[in-house]
């Protein structure tokens, strides 16, 4: 018997509500029973040269394993900061819209979503203070561990501290925790705390920041109860797990 399908929450997200007739790839909440931090790439990697990812999920085959993955761009128009997407994924799982004309038969149960964001890599990391905490607990990445920034590059979690205070729900209402000032940020249905350092954001550049397992696909019902038939047929041919969702 197959294990239960792990699905993402159908909440309003930074990119809005899911579209009737839409096709969404998911990494359900608590995928494999592990926290989202396990799937984050720290330090973030450069986006592979020659790929046009913006608003166009791309199939990419790993030459070593032969496994085909989905490369997906997380746009700053909906998620201005990488933390916006990470915290939403932590609270509700990952849900990303796909074109129904994607060749789903190239994917398998070992395929992953490889996620990129235009502000994931901090190219000025050597000129800035260490982040207070690295949530992947990498040696030397954070001030709390008494380290110096590791030679392999910047800590992903420094990007949390580079979010400007003006991005808070109320920039005039700091919350004192552990002797530091935090603010509340809201993205879609997700609220989280951040601790702005006031440092420059001009060094932030595009990068790959996460690789999460694909737990299944959601086909959103139209008003008449139908779903995207072409995508459903392709998912069935590829023996991929999917379900019909009201929203």
Condensed to tens digits (0 to 9), the pLDDT of residues 25-80 reads 999 987 667 899 999 999 999 988 777 777 678 899 999 999 999 999 999 999 99
Distances (CA, A) of 14 to 49, 104, 135: 27, 25, 22
Is 95 part of any domain? yes
d(CA 76, CA 16): 13
Across the range 12-35, mean pLDDT stands at 91
122, 207 in Cβ contact below 8 A? no
Q: Which of 31-35, 121-125, 184-188 has the lowest mean pLDDT?
A: 31-35
**How far is the C-alpha of 11 from the C-alpha of 35, rounded, in Å?**
19
Would residue 12 count as lying in a domain? no
* 8 within domain boundaries: no
Identify the domain containing residue 76 by its residue range: 23-245
Within-domain flag for 190: yes
User: How many domains in the chain?
Assistant: 1
Q: Is residue 87 part of a domain?
A: yes
pTM for the whole thing?
Answer: 0.94
Q: Which helix (H) or strand (E) holds 210?
A: strand 204-213
């Amino acid at each position: 018997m197959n294990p239960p399908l792990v699905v993402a929450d159908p909440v309003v997200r930074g990119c809005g509500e899911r579209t009737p007739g839409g096709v969404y790839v998911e990494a359900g909440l608590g995928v494999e029973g592990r926290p989202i931090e396990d799937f984050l790439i720290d330090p973030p990697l450069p986006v592979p040269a020659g790929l046009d990812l913006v608003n166009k999920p791309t199939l990419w085959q790993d030459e070593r394993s032969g496994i085909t993955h989905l490369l997906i761009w997380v746009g700053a128009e909906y998620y201005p900061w990488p933390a916006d997407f990470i915290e939403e994924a932590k609270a509700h799982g990952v849900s990303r819209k796909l074109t129904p004309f994607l060749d789903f038969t190239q994917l398998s149960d070992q395929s992953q979503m490889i996620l990129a964001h235009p502000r994931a890599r901090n190219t000025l990391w050597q000129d800035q203070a260490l982040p207070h905490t690295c949530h992947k607990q990498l040696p030397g990445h954070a001030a709390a561990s008494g380290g110096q920034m590791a030679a392999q590059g910047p800590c992903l979690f420094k990007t949390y501290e580079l979010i400007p205070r003006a991005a808070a729900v109320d920039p005039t209402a700091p919350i004192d925790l552990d002797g530091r000032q935090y603010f509340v940020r809201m993205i879609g249905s997700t609220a989280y705390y951040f601790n702005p350092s006031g440092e420059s954001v001009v060094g932030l550049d595009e990068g790959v920041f996460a690789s999460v397992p694909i737990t299944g696909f959601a086909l959103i019902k139209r008003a008449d109860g139908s779903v995207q038939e072409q995508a459903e047929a392709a998912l069935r041919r590829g023996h991929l797990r999917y379900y019909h969702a009201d929203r």
